[in-house]
Amino acid sequence: MTNRILFVLMLVAGLTAPLFAYPVFVMDLLCFALFACAFNLLLGYAGLLSFGHAAFFGGAAYITGYVTKEWGFTPLLGILAGAGFAMVLGAAFGFLAIRRQGIYFAMVTLALAQIIYFLALQMPFTGGENGLQGIPRGHLFGLIDLNNSLTMYYFVFAIFVIGFGIIYRTINSPFGEVLQAIRENESRALSLGYDVDHFKLLAFVISATLAGLAGATKAIIFQFAALTSAHWQTSGEVILMTLVGGLGTVFGPVVGAILVGALSHELSAFGSWVQVILGTIFVVCVMVFRRGIIGELQRLVSRKQG
- Contact segment (CB under 8 A) with other proteins among 70-78, 108-116, 139-147, 216-224 equals 108-116
Among 118, 147, 173, 299, which residue sits at the site for other proteins (rule: CB under 8 A)? 118
d(CA 204, CA 178): 14
Contact status: 263 vs other proteins (CB under 8 A): no
Among 275, 289, 296, 297, which residue sits at the site for other proteins (rule: CB under 8 A)? 275
Count, residues in the chain: 306
If you ran DSSP here, which 8-state letter would residue 100 be given? S
- Contact segment (CB under 8 A) with other proteins among 1-9, 26-34, 137-145, 285-293 equals 285-293
Closest-CA residue to 135 (of 185, 82, 188): 82
Contacts of 302 (CB under 8 A, 6+ apart): none
CA 135 to chain centre: 21
Contact status: 106 vs other proteins (CB under 8 A): yes
Rank residues 22 and 273 by Cβ distance to other proteins and give the closer one. 273
d(CA 9, CA 130): 39
Q: How many residues bind other proteins (CB under 8 A)?
A: 42
Sign of CA dihedral 105, 107, 108, 112: positive
Rank residues 51 and 164 by Cβ distance to other proteins and give the closer one. 51
State the pairing for strand pair 144-145/139-140.
Answer: antiparallel
Rank residues 188 and 290 by Cβ distance to other proteins and give the closer one. 290
Contact status: 175 vs other proteins (CB under 8 A): no
Angle subtended by helix axes 174-184 and 196-222, to nearest 10: 110
d(CA 89, CA 78): 17
Contact status: 268 vs other proteins (CB under 8 A): no
Contact status: 125 vs other proteins (CB under 8 A): no
Task: Supply the Cα-derived Rg of the chain in whole angstroms.
Answer: 19
Contact status: 298 vs other proteins (CB under 8 A): no
Residue 160: phi and psi, rounded to 5, are: -60, -45
Rank residues 173 and 228 by Cβ distance to other proteins and give the closer one. 228
CA 222 to chain centre: 17
Rank residues 50 and 68 by Cβ distance to other proteins and give the closer one. 50
Among 42, 146, 205, 239, which residue sits at the site for other proteins (rule: CB under 8 A)? 239
Contact status: 281 vs other proteins (CB under 8 A): yes
Cβ at position 141, least distance to other proteins in Å: 39
Q: ∠ CA(244), CA(246), CA(252), 5° rounding? A: 95
Q: Where on the chain is the footprint of other proteins (CB under 8 A)? A: 47, 49, 51, 96-97, 99-100, 102-104, 106-108, 110-112, 114-115, 118-119, 122, 232, 236, 239, 243, 271-283, 285-287, 290
